[in-house]
Amino acid sequence: MVTADTDFGTLLALSGATLPSVIQFRRESHRPEQQLQFLLAETGQLEEPCSQGCVVTVTDRRIWIRSLPIRP
């Protein structure tokens, strides 16, 4: 799942689930064309973690990848 809503990633993390993976954009620019360009450019880096279950947070400066389930 790809979203700009950070609540989905939070709910997924709190649930203790291992799937689905979510990529959440927290960038200043939320234009779909730019999101698509990012996803196409980063497919190699994101494919394996997303297939195993993770929350990916994308900002203008950084990409965080946290494996699911997220433990406190």
Segments making up each domain of the chain, as ranges:
2-67
Model pTM score: 0.83
What pLDDT, in 10s, does the model give residues 1-51? 888 888 888 888 889 999 999 999 886 666 888 888 888 888 899 999 999
Are 60 and 38 in contact by the 8 Å Cβ rule? The answer is no
Distances in Å between the Cα of 17 and the Cα atoms of 6, 31, 53, 69 are 16, 29, 9, 5
